[in-house]
Amino acid sequence: MSYDNNNVFAKILRGELPAHKVYEDDQTLAFMDIMPRAKGHTLVIPKTPARNVLDATPEQLSACIQTVQKIARAVMKAFDAPGVTIQQFNESAGGQVVFHLHFHVIPRWEGVPLGPHTGKMEDKEVLEANAEKIRQALAS
């Protein structure tokens, strides 16, 4: 399978679609999932094309996982979460919905189940408020 330059994350990277950004460096972008499975659910993507982990370069994977760790620490702090779930899906049979490599960083609390993988869209105001909490956690 080949990379589709018109996937939603490629459009976000080109500025064609909005995103509630929480972190960005030369190689990666982290932003709020618009259908969060929990409060603070954040996505981390490489800025260069990669369909998923199966075709990503070692450099893309390294950059992403470093950002995943940074965001994981920040979401735990921002939302006073005692744990975090990191998810990454590959191809349709593996649960992948958007075909641009991405990692889900989801803060977790004991006894609180995750919402569905493709649930309801969150209000923009809530997403922006959550993004700001994460940005503040990253800055402190």
Residues with catalytic annotation?
A: 102
**Per-residue tokens: 80:** 């006073």
Contact 60, 27 (CB under 8 A): yes
Strand partners, 86: 105
* C-alpha separations of 45 from 8, 49, 50, 71 in Å: 12, 9, 9, 12
DSSP-derived 3-state class of residue 15: coil
**Per-residue tokens: 126:** 């809530």
